[in-house]
Structure 1
Amino acid sequence: MLRVSQKILNERRLETLVENQTSYTMNNAALHVFETHEQAEQVLLKFEQPVLASMIEGKKVMHLRDFESFDFLPGESLLLPAHEQMCIDFPEAMSKNPTRCLAMAISEDKIKRVMQFMNEQMPKDGKGEWELMNYNFHFINDPGIFQILKRLLFLFSENHPSKDFFVDNMLRELIIRILQTNECRIYSNETLSLTNESRLAGVIRYIRENLSSSLQVDDLSRMACMSPSHFYRKFKSELGISPVEFINNERIKLAVGLLQDTKRSIKDVYLDCGFESRSYFNRVFKNRQKIAPGAYKANILNAAFRR
């Protein structure tokens, strides 16, 4: 789990209870740490450069142009283009448990230089050139991206004469890893662009609204008026993952948010997320978050104890 260092917390100025901002600017990027200390709705935010947002603590509900609203939870990141208008709700923020998020604006020139480097040094083996990254890309941080974000949080706030050089190298690795990331995808632009008329759109809404219930592919295929085999092929073709993978992704997203509540037991969490057994929940959670739910819960409790 990402954490904001005590140094950053000491340097902040709480000028507002909603999206209070602590910023650090370097040659090719600017890092902003946002804190929200009270519940709020429809807070607007926009950046002049492409931005990588990553949740640290708490929960946001994101509303992006032309896309369905979705929960944004710790362990997840979101890549947005320059000038993209975000509309954000903070349903759980409070003074004792603020919502925290980092947003890193990266210069487009830096991104283009990294893509040029990749095309020269890391070609795609006849699959075309690396192109501008897929914006509106929402994904679970893999261990490599997690460690880079953790390091960048330290570097931006460090007083070191060479930190511009250090940050620049970490940015290059971060961009490369994001461009190469596909396996942990929750959904991308294609996933979210399903129209309301699509039979899959209704199924996706049903899944998200009924995660605690039993969700069987046969039942979902009947809801979409398709045979199970056709439904599976259509779902994977349009979303890039199978129905079961999508359901598990959504359940783990929910679990990550529920585990933030120190009063909830792990049994309560996995049952509320629709998992029938602790062992299966452990396996799916660890596969996606790279940490067991018990260890994740312990980190939350330790962080709460230190406050």
Structure 2
Amino acid sequence: MVELNPLHYQNRRLETLVENRTLHTLNNAELNIFETHQKAAQVMLQFHEPVLASMIRGKKIMHLQNTPSFGFLPGESVILPSNELMCIDFPEASEQNPTQCLALAFNEAKLQQAVNLLNERGLKQNGKEWSMTDYNYHFTNDIAINQILQRLIFIFTENHPSKDIFADMLLQELIIRILQTESKSIYLKKSYTQPNNDRISFVLNFIRENITEDLTIELLSEKAYMSESNFYRTFKHETGSTPIDFIIEERLKLAESLLRDPKMSVKEAFMASGFNSFSYFCRIFKKKKNLSPTEFKEKSNQLKNRPMA
């Protein structure tokens, strides 16, 4: 999870209990830290540039144009086009549990540079160019995006003569990762509803349906009717992850689901989720979930057995 560093608290002034704003500016971006210390509803907020909003602490209810309302929780982000009007509720904010959220506004030209860089490396498989979303894209941060946001908070709040250079490089990486995350999300949705619509969606669906089988690049490239090198390059370019990484993600999702079943042992969950090595399964599970499979299962069972209030 992203956290605010001590420099933020040293320099911020608490002037209002609802969406108190601390602003840090650089040449091509501005970082806003918003903190709310009491319950509130229908707070309006708008930026004149594209913005990434990312929750740090607490809970918001977001009401956005042409998007169903949703709960906004730590570890989640939403990318918004310029001039998008946000209506925000704070149902749980208090002095003891303030809501904290960052809003990173991008310079349009810098944003387009990152998009152009992706297009220079290759168009999408359907021949379309990469472009920044013009609607509200809500997603859960992966490890890489969390690390970039954490680093940006530090750069914006430190006093370094080259901070603009550092921030520009990170902003470019952040934008590219968001674009690939969005692209992957679109393919995943299509893989459930229209798996035969394109090669990537078909392969994602094939992986899920054969998750316990020996899934090799050779086999997947054959299913996509592509050469191994072209398939691997296209998959990584459009989803931001390798085919093997995606297979591991899907096997971990399945294992997590199985471990929530009180009747399923850790060993049975391992065997049913397609992993070949128990030690590797335990290691990769702990790396992704910060809990071993056994600890995850115990915690899951405790939550299920907790009496209702």
Task: List aligned pairs for 1:91-110, cutoff 5 A.
Answer: 91-110=91-110
Change over 3 Å in CA distance of 1:58–1:157 after alignment to 2? same
In 1, the alpha carbon distance for the partners of 2:291 and 2:50 equals: 32
Deviation at 1:130, TM superposition (A): 1.2
In 1, the alpha carbon distance for the partners of 2:61 and 2:164 equals: 33
Match of 1:174 in 2: 174
Change over 3 Å in CA distance of 1:236–1:79 after alignment to 2? farther
Aligned length: 220
TM-score, length of structure 2 as denominator length = 0.62
The amino acid that maps onto 1:22 is T
The SS at the match of 2:175 is helix
Deviation per CA, 1:194-250, whole angstroms, max 9, x where unpaired? xxxxxxxxxxxxxxxxxxxxxxxxxxxxxxxxxxxxxx648999xx999xx9xxxxx
Structure with greater contact order relative to length (CA < 8 Å, sep ≥ 6): 1
Where in structure 2 are there 5+ consecutive unaligned residues?
Answer: 209-255, 270-280, 297-309
The amino acid that maps onto 1:29 is A
Match of 1:6 in 2: 6
Q: How many percent identity over aligned positions?
A: 50
Structure index of larger Rg: 2
Change over 3 Å in CA distance of 1:29–1:127 after alignment to 2? same
In 1, the alpha carbon distance for the partners of 2:177 and 2:13 equals: 33
Where in structure 1 are there 5+ consecutive unaligned residues?
Answer: 192-231, 246-269, 297-307
Match of 2:75 in 1: 75
Deviation at 1:128, TM superposition (A): 2.4
- Whether the 8 Å CA contact 1:139–1:186 is kept in 2: the answer is no
The amino acid that maps onto 1:121 is R
In 2, the alpha carbon distance for the partners of 1:118 and 1:56 equals: 29
The SS at the match of 1:14 is coil
Match of 1:290 in 2: 288
- Whether the 8 Å CA contact 2:67–2:136 is kept in 1: the answer is no
- Whether the 8 Å CA contact 1:142–1:290 is kept in 2: the answer is no
The amino acid that maps onto 2:39 is Q
Deviation per CA, 1:245-265, whole angstroms, max 9, x where unpaired? 9xxxxxxxxxxxxxxxxxxxx
- Whether the 8 Å CA contact 2:137–2:182 is kept in 1: the answer is no
Task: List aligned pairs for 1:1-307, cutoff 5 A.
Answer: 1-124=1-124, 127-182=127-182, 185=185, 233=193, 276-277=261-262, 290-292=288-290
Deviation at 1:97, TM superposition (A): 1.4
Change over 3 Å in CA distance of 1:180–1:233 after alignment to 2? closer
